């Protein structure tokens, strides 16, 4: 007799319950079984969270398809087994966590499992920004690092991010090897664990000293292209995240005295009471900061996401607040770093493939080495390390259009804290010259051509949606158009093939690039974390006599083209 899908769900749920050490999630899942809540069981047990290059991330709740203590314990046991197998169990593993309600317990479980497995652990006893944990991994020569964070995901989520021995996020094949180790782990309640690890006296568990923050502040200060101090007003929100106190101290030490926090969003609070989606890219997320900026006639608005690895910014323009796109911030920071470069080595700059080509143009202007990588800062960091070890030069700057930036070699990941300080230096420098950062952006356009970017996403959830998205990408690659909108397609790059002819940080992926000659390009790819097909458009044009009007007009054209390409894919 063939077991029905409902019977399989019930059987899987009972098996998970028997191995769950947490009475809260165990009772919640048992309640679904008792109520024969098939819909709830399908969400909890239908598809297990999969460990990958971003670790694991998902909604907090019971079952194998949710983030919970059992999932964290099993994942950490798999990581410990992998480190043992690799002979990497002598050095420490660094563990940090954000302010979400479950994060401290998850981090304590991770510490307890690692120590019980005979692996030394250095942990943050209080919430810590992701860039600080990444910095600690370098400073302590860690064999791995774990950050319990869901970054800018919705309030119901949490996650578990892993860094490798090089202090960059894991990449293939390490992610698959760790996943394989996790798959061989038995029930969570059978895994050895040091209970109450944060309070325990254990020879392998050590709290990270606060002096590490001083080391970070000094390291950031050394990477600032042109250190400034000012009394300009910078309205700032950490969006209920963990960056507030750190950024406040950084600004105080730098002599920027005008930092003005959004008080209702300053203290860490993982329930996010004033925002429904704590992502600075989301519409409405910066409303309170922009209101305060208008009231105080601020010089700029700064925002970190909840784990402080991203930066958003806005500046006044024509009586309104002008949000800078991730690509525009990337151009401004990249230009600032390169024109202030004072090291003997050739500067290395990099951006993800879906980010604007403008950094490549700037690199050519300043004699820098430029690289394009796969999406994800792990690729930028690993490319930088490989290029440096190959004698190409010294890493200077990297960015992703999704508000991610790193300046210098302080961390091997994106860092919204140091980026905020350096951007404030740039605002100050321009202000002293009687200019704004938008004036500087116009200068960059004059040198590289006017570049604008637009995105369009098509959501198709479920297995059928994933299949349809994959089919759309394949059809576009196999039968590319000769024109899109008013633009001729001059060439097509299919990143599904030819990986052996590209560097490892630009390997095979489901991505099609339609080149539009000097006018720009269109990129089409599935999202790596959501059930979406994403269309990216980068267009280039003339600056003209009214650069900001030209920017608006070209941006409208890019948005129309992105939507048009999306509609043409038949989803």
Give the tens place of pLDDT for each residue, 346-396: 999 999 999 999 999 999 999 999 999 999 999 999 999 999 999 999 999
For the cut 80, the answer to whether the pLDDT of residue 4 exceeds it is no
Annotated catalytic residue, options 64, 102, 103, 151? 151
pLDDT digits (tens, 9 = 90+) for 250-260: 999 999 999 99
Amino acid 52: pLDDT: 86
Strands 259-261 and 234-237, by their bridges, are parallel
Q: Which residues contact 219 (CB under 8 A, 6 or more apart)?
A: 135, 410
Q: Which residues contact 77 (CB under 8 A, 6 or more apart)?
A: 113, 117, 182, 185, 191
CA distance 299 to 235: 8
Q: How far apart are the first and last CA of the chain?
A: 39
pLDDT digits (tens, 9 = 90+) for 162-183: 999 999 999 999 999 999 999 9
**Token digits for 381?**
């960091």
Distance of CA 104 to the CA centre of its chain: 21
Cβ(523)–Cβ(354) below 8 Å:
yes
Cβ(179)–Cβ(51) below 8 Å:
yes
Percent of the chain at pLDDT above 70?
A: 99
Instruction: Say what the pTM is.
Output: 0.95
- Using the Cα atoms of residue 349, residue 353, residue 355 and residue 360 in order, give the sign of their dihedral: positive
Closest residue by Cα to residue 333 from 253, 267, 399: 399
Q: Helix axis angle, 416-432 relative to 326-339, nearest 10°?
A: 70
Task: Please state the domain extents for the chain.
Answer: 5-209, 213-326, 329-448, 450-568
For the cut 60, the answer to whether the pLDDT of residue 2 exceeds it is no
Amino acid 464: pLDDT: 85
Q: Let me know if domain 450-568 sits in CATH 3.40.50.300.
A: no
Q: Let me know if domain 213-326 sits in CATH 3.40.120.10.
A: yes
CA distance 510 to 354: 12
Amino acid 3: pLDDT: 52
Cα–Cα–Cα angle for 197, 202, 208, rounded to 5 degrees: 70
Mean pLDDT of 338-345: 95
Element (H or E) spanning 440, and its range? helix 437-448
pLDDT digits (tens, 9 = 90+) for 45-99: 988 999 988 899 999 999 999 999 999 999 999 999 999 999 999 889 999 999 9
Q: Let me know if domain 5-209 sits in CATH 3.40.120.10.
A: yes
Mean pLDDT (the chain) is 95
The set of long-range contacts for 486-491, using a CB threshold of 8 Å and a minimum separation of 24, is 487/516, 487/519, 487/520, 487/561, 488/516, 488/517, 489/514, 489/515, 489/516, 490/515, 490/516, 490/517, 491/515
Same fold, 5-209 and 450-568: no
Q: Let me know if domain 329-448 sits in CATH 3.40.50.2300.
A: no
For the cut 60, the answer to whether the pLDDT of residue 1 exceeds it is no
pLDDT digits (tens, 9 = 90+) for 512-565: 999 999 999 999 999 876 788 999 999 999 999 999 999 999 999 999 999 999
Q: Based on the residue annotation, tell me whether 18 is a catalytic residue of this protein.
A: no
CA distance 82 to 181: 6
Q: What backbone phi and psi angles, to 5 degrees, belong to 191?
A: -90, 130
How many CB atoms are closer than 10 A to CB 186?
Answer: 10
């Amino acid at each position: 007799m063939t077991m029905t899908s409902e019977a399989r769900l019930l059987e899987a749920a009972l098996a998970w319950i028997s191995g769950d050490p947490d009475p809260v999630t165990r009772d919640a899942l048992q309640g679904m079984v008792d109520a024969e809540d098939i819909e709830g069981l399908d969400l909890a047990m239908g598809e297990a969270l999969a460990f990958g290059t971003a670790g694991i991330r998902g909604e907090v709740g019971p079952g194998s398809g949710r983030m919970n203590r059992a999932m964290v314990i099993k994942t950490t046991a798999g990581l410990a087994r992998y480190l043992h197998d690799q002979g990497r169990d002598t050095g420490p593993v660094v563990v940090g966590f954000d302010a979400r309600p479950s994060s401290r317990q998850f981090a304590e479980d991770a510490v307890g499992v690692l120590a019980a497995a005979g692996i030394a652990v250095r942990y943050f006893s209080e919430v810590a920004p992701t860039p600080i944990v990444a910095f600690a991994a370098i400073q302590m020569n860690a064999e791995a690092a774990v950050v319990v964070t869901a970054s800018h995901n919705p309030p119901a989520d949490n996650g578990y991010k892993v860094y490798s021995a090089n202090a960059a996020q894991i990449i293939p094949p390490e992610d698959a090897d760790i996943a394989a180790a996790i798959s061989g782990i038995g029930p969570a309640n059978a895994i050895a664990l040091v209970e109450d690890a944060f309070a325990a006296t254990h020879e392998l568990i050590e709290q990270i000293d606060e002096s590490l923050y001083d080391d970070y502040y000094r390291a950031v200060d050394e990477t600032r292209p042109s250190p400034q101090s000012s009394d300009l007003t910078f309205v700032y929100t950490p969006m209920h995240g963990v960056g507030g106190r750190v950024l406040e101290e950084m600004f105080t030490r730098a002599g920027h005295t005008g930092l003005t926090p959004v008080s209702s969003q300053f203290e860490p609070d993982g329930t996010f009471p004033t925002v429904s989606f704590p992502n600075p890219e989301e519409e409405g997320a910066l409303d309170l900061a922009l209101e305060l900026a208008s009231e105080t006639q601020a010089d700029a608005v700064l925002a970190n996401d909840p784990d402080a690895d991203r930066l958003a910014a806005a500046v006044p323009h024509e009586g309104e607040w002008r949000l800078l796109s991730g690509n525009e911030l990337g151009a401004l920071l990249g230009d600032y770093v390169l024109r202030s470069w004072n090291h003997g080595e050739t500067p290395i700059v990099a951006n993800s493939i879906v980010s604007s080509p403008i950094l490549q143009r700037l690199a050519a202007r300043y004699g820098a080495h430029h690289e394009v990588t796969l999406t994800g800062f792990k690729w930028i960091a690993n490319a930088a390390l490989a290029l440096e070890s190959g004698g190409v030069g010294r890493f200077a700057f990297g960015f992703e259009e999704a508000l991610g930036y790193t300046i210098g070699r302080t961390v091997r990941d994106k860092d919204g804290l140091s980026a905020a300080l350096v951007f404030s230096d740039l605002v100050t420098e321009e202000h002293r010259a009687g200019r704004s950062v938008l004036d500087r952006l116009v200068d960059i356009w004059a040198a590289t051509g006017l570049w604008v970017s637009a995105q369009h996403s098509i959501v198709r959830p479920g297995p059928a949606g994933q299949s349809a998205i994959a089919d759309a990408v394949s059809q576009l690659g196999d039968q590319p158009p000769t024109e899109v909108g008013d633009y001729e397609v001059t060439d097509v790059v299919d990143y599904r093939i030819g990986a052996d002819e590209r560097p490892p940080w630009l390997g095979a992926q489901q991505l099609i690039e339609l080149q539009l000659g000097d006018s720009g390009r269109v990129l089409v790819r599935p999202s790596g974390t959501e059930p979406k097909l994403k269309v990216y458009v980068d267009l280039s044009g003339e600056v003209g006599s009214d650069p900001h009007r030209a920017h608006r007009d070209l941006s409208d054209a890019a948005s129309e083209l992105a939507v048009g390409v999306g509609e043409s894919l038949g989803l």
